[in-house]
Amino acid sequence: MSEILLFWKARSDLAMPPDAVARELNWGEEVEGLVDLPVKEIIDRLKAEFPEHDERPGLLTAKTPVGGSWEATWAWQFFKVEFRDPQGDARQRVIDVLAEFSCGVHEI
């Protein structure tokens, strides 16, 4: 079982509904009205939160303490996190980390 969450930070003038933003980002398009994210800082914070991780160019994977895992990909406007066998509080911990950077979450 897997679950995919998409995170971004919107400016106040963003008129596009969340489903449309998610679709555009999944297609690799930039969305007017989104703020560029501090990618390095977010990655560093996720790595601190999940010490069992592996980072490669454009991909961060981590194991959760109770046996699941997740992988994150990103661009300047979003983070996409796919959870595999989500268990325990890992999902909420990832959401909380991205919330520290004022990112909203959207399930796709």
Per-residue model confidence (pLDDT) at position 13? 92
Give the Å distances, CA to CA, from 55 to 20, 39, 44, 86.
30, 13, 10, 20
Per-residue model confidence (pLDDT) at position 108? 84
Per-residue model confidence (pLDDT) at position 64? 82
Q: Residue 57 gets which letter from DSSP? A: T
Q: What is the pLDDT of residues 3-40, one digit of tens each?
A: 899 999 999 999 899 999 999 998 989 999 999 999 99
Q: What is the pLDDT of residues 54-94, one digit of tens each?
A: 999 999 999 887 778 999 999 999 999 999 876 678 889 99
Whole-angstrom Cα distance, residue 66 to residue 74? 25
Domains and CATH numbers, the chain: 2-107 (3.30.310.250)
Q: What is the pTM of this model?
A: 0.90
